[in-house]
């Protein structure tokens, strides 16, 4: 068991290469909630199980013909125990753990490794200052509104595999209240949504965001959210391609958007490694 983070979006990481240590009935929603609890558990925004795709029952549905090309599967759970399609910070940490745990040779990362996720395959590789992920294209799917205490913000609905509502605003995001999940239109987001509130610091080049994540609450960073927000900021600037620096409470991410795809770059850090005690497991 390890704990780690990407720009302070933190995870409990469970290496389980052969699917024997954390099978589905052991890693149920209640166990995920216990692990992620910050006082009585390890604490985290979610859990990443590091497992070979062949041992994940729903991997074939998610990956289709690409199943054979993805040896590894990022089995991601939100802190409330729900499943998410994709996690941009988590997948960088996932590759870092594969390398540091000796499950993958660092040389294999040079051109990137295809990793399975519930949102489909994603290529991840080592960068000079962290890891890059080919996240695929942002897919806008409408316009909506986020109701926060005292204000309502219009936004763009964007899928990065998982759903986002990106609200560009002139109100300083530091002053907005994200202590409760923003209220959104359930018709537009039947499976829930991650909400980003975003200030543009330099048009088409530099943004600052805070995020309220589906299944978690406010977090210090969201990789998929950074990509959705960068796409929306570029659209807003009238320059649909470019590179955007994304400041999040937990650090900085970089997002490159071109005609074909979106590439996210940022750090990944393993903080600690150890064992869960028999006492805690029995509790
Ligand atoms: N923090 C992640 C996203 C995790 C999943 C999200 N909460 C959801 O339910 O879609 C990221 O870095 O992308």
* Structure confidence by residue, pLDDT tens digits, 228-268: 999 999 999 999 999 999 999 999 999 999 999 999 999 99
Q: What is the pLDDT of residues 132-190, one digit of tens each?
A: 999 999 999 999 999 999 999 999 999 999 999 999 999 999 999 999 999 999 999 99
What Rg value do the Cα atoms of the chain yield, rounded?
Answer: 18
Q: Cα–Cα distance between 118 and 163 in angstroms, integer?
A: 13
Interface ipTM = 0.99
Question: Residue 202 C-alpha to ligand 1 middle, in angstroms?
Answer: 25
Give the residue range(s) of CATH 3.10.310.10 domains in the chain: 2-134+268-282, 139-260
Instruction: Say yes or no: domain 2-134+268-282 is CATH 3.30.300.210.
Output: no
- CA 228, 234, 236, 240: dihedral to nearest 10 degrees? -110
32: confidence class by pLDDT, cuts 50, 70, 90: very high
Annotated binding site for substrate: 9, 78, 88-89, 162, 194, 213-214, 223-224
Of 1.10.1740.10, 3.10.310.10, 3.10.520.10, 3.40.1280.10, the CATH number of 139-260 is 3.10.310.10
pTM metric for this prediction? 0.98
Atom of ligand 1 nearest to the CA of 225: 13
């Amino acid at each position: 068991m390890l704990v780690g983070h990407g720009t302070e979006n933190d995870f409990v990481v469970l290496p389980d290469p052969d699917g024997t240590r954390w099978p589905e009935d052991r890693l149920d929603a209640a166990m995920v909630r216990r692990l992620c609890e910050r006082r009585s558990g390890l604490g985290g925004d979610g859990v990443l199980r590091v497992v070979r795709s062949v041992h994940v029952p729903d991997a074939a549905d998610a990956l289709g013909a690409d199943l054979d090309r993805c040896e590894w599967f990022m089995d991601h759970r939100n802190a409330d125990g729900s499943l998410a399609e994709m996690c941009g910070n988590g997948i960088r940490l996932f590759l870092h753990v594969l390398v540091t745990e000796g499950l993958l040779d660092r040389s294999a990362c040079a051109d990137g490794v295809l990793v399975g996720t519930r949102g489909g395959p994603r290529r991840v590789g080592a960068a000079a200052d962290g890891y890059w992920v080919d996240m695929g294209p942002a897919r806008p799917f409408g316009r909506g509104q986020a109701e926060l205490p005292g204000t309502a913000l219009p936004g763009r609905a964007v899928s990065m595999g998982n759903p986002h509502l990106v609200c560009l605003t002139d109100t300083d995001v530091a002053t907005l209240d994200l202590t409760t999940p923003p209220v959104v239109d359930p018709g537009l987001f039947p499976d829930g949504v991650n909400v980003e509130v975003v200030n543009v610091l330099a048009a088409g080049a530099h943004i600052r965001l805070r995020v309220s994540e589906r299944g978690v609450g406010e977090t210090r960073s969201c990789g998929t959210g950074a990509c959705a927000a960068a796409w929306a900021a570029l659209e807003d600037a009238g320059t649909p391609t470019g590179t955007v620096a994304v400041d999040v409470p937990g650090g900085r991410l970089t997002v490159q958007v071109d005609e074909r795809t979106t590439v996210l770059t940022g750090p990944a850090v393993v903080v600690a490694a150890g064992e869960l005690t028999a006492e805690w497991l029995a509790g």
